[in-house]
Amino acid sequence: MRTLSGFIFSNLLGWKITGRFPDIKKSVTIVAPHTSGWDAFIGKLYLNEIGLKYYVLAKKELFTFPLGILMRAVRAIPIDRKDRKTDYVDQIVKTINKSDEIHIVISPEGTRRKVIRWKKGFYTIAAKANIPVVVIYLDYRKKEMGIKGVISDFSDINSVMHQINDMYKDVTGKYPEKFSLEIMPDK
């Protein structure tokens, strides 16, 4: 899979990889901008090519037969955000704590539409699991994808969001008008 993904990502699509994924066993890995359905396809090729043991989160409703088979094959973990009795953050933290190696990949924008507030679940998961956030970008103008940085200090969410904002300020999504740098934590 790694060789095939690399061939498609680099040779067929013409994308290049920048930076090296840090030598860590666990992370919450955020990827932005998320302005197109193509982002997931390109992102999966990239993650496969770098050999990352990653999982993505997806709404529970996508896990019914037959789609559920595909969702598990693409390393998706079902999340039930409608069940108020179950804290999905705690479920994910428990999964992280039980794993020797796991990288949870999240698009913090939560949608392909333009938003002014990103979902803060990635921050809460990383802080509760005491693991770093790895910041990955995909830039359609430059046709490159890679690491922007690693954040380990979760003492102030506003500081974290400003760091992330600075990392993404020069990145161009497939549809630039749908990507917002007005990154503010949910209240």
pLDDT tens across 10-58, in order? 989 999 999 999 999 999 999 999 889 899 899 999 999 999 999 998 8
Residue 21 gets the label, from left (phi > 0), alpha (psi -120 to 50) or beta, of beta
Instruction: Supply the pTM of this predicted model.
Output: 0.88
Q: What is the mean pLDDT of residues 153-169?
A: 91
d(CA 185, CA 187): 6
Residue 149 confidence (pLDDT): 95
* b/e code 102-119 from CB counts within 10 Å (16+ = b): bbbbbbbbeebebbebbb
pLDDT > 60? residue 87: yes
**Given the structure tokens 């802080």, which residue do they identify?**
127
Query: Which distant-in-sequence residues (6+ apart) come within 8 Å of 131 by Cβ?
Result: 24, 26, 27, 28, 96
pLDDT tens across 101-140, in order? 999 999 887 677 777 778 888 999 999 999 999 999 999 9
- Tell me which of 80 and 165 has the higher pLDDT: 165
H or E stretch at 135:
strand 133-139
Residue 110 confidence (pLDDT): 67
- Chain centroid to Cα 39, Å, comes to 10
First-last CA distance in the chain: 41
Mean pLDDT of the chain: 88
Number of domains composing the chain = 1
In which domain, by residue range, is 128 found? 2-18+26-185
pLDDT tens across 177-187, in order? 888 876 555 54
